[in-house]
Chains A and B, each alone.
Chain A
Amino acid sequence: MAEGKETRESGGKMSILERGIFADVALVSAHTADPEGNLKYRLAARNFNPLVAMAGRFTLAEVEVISDNYLDPESVMTPGVFVQRLVHVQNPVKDIEHRTVRERE
């Protein structure tokens, strides 16, 4: 992991310097977008998406809902400044990798 990477001592601890990632194109998946390109994610689907959106020089967001109304400003998770293009995918097929359930008692 450390091979070829810059190391620095900070507060008496040696650390590897990892710089932030930039991407020419970032692909993210969100639940709702508004006309400003503001994004909202659903539940654990947030994960890396807001971070990836900020890393892209050109960010394309696939969204399930494009709302005619603006999102409540307090509920914006990715501000539209990070989003260059929206792709509207209604009712996408979402595969579950590990379907784990419990029985009703």
Chain B
Amino acid sequence: MWTREELAAIAGSELQEGQYINLGIGIPTLVANHLPAGVSVTLHSENGILGMGPFPYKGEEDPDLINAGKQTVTLEPGAGVFDSAVSFAMIRGGHINVAILAALQVSHRGDLANWTIPGKRVKGMGGAMDLVTGIPRIIVITDHLAKDGTPKLVRECDLPLAGSQVVDRIITDLAVFDIGDSGMTLERLAPCHTVEELRRKTEASFTQRLEPHDVGGE
């Protein structure tokens, strides 16, 4: 099973020079610490930052400088701050290249439920809907199973959607999947796990395009 840091590193390895990236709340935030060496990307936070830097050193936190998850952050040279309307113009206008988001459920078609569980009190959907429709590439990082042990990769999401057919890639603690027109394809399996186990823990159907040496067990 991959750790949260390993998940963040796998997601980070997909990012390319010059891209503008939005990181969602939760594990995706960790990707900021795992950007590939020598690759320069610009991080966007939808509350109104482009050019977000790492967490501040202890004692240098500024209550007016937080990300969308309300964590204290810093600014990189060349950063800009702006209001939410400008921030969402970047998102809706397709200026942000990749979003890395957490999920409650993802369907085999790439439907994404990530903002509420009915009956639970939440502050609202936030930017989820705009992010998934405005940003061309959506990567989801999530635990493979929910806390109650049920699969998060499902045939049909029964939680409210942020968008339908929007997810391009799913990175879980057990496997990496691509989602395309023909559904979900297994791309990578965590070490010491088998495809049989993965099928038991995944409600969504997926095809397999793995070479034997990519399959764990060693």
Contact = CB atoms under 8 A, between A and B. Distances in A.
Contacts of B83: 46-51, 77
Q: Which of B47, B62, B70, B83 has the most CB of A within 10 A?
A: B83
Contacts of A51: 83-85
Contact of B72 (A1, A101, A104): A101
B54 interface: yes
B61 A96 contact: yes
B63 A98 contact: no
Interface in A67-99: 77, 94-99
Binding site of B, secondary structure by majority: helix, strand, loop or mixed?
loop
Contacts of B82: 46
Given A46-B83, A48-B83, A101 B61 contact: yes
B63 A96 contact: yes
B84 A101 contact: no
Contacts of B64: 31, 42-45, 94
Contact of A102 (B48, B55, B85, B160): B55
B58 A47 contact: no
B63 A47 contact: no
Interface residues of A, number: 24
A44 B69 contact: no
A42 B57 CA distance: 20
Interface in B41-56: 45, 47-49, 54-56
B69 A98 contact: yes
A46 B72 CA distance: 15
B71 interface: yes
A101 B47 contact: no
B125 interface: yes
A100 interface: yes
Given A49-B83, A101-B56, A44 B66 contact: yes
A44 B63 CA distance: 9
Contact of A43 (B57, B81, B160): B81
A18 to B, nearest CB: 11
A103 interface: yes
Given A96-B66, A100-B72, A101-B72, A48 B81 contact: no
A65 B70 CA distance: 24
Interface of A: 1, 31, 42-51, 77, 94-104
Interface of B: 45, 47-49, 54-67, 69-73, 75, 81-85, 125, 129, 160
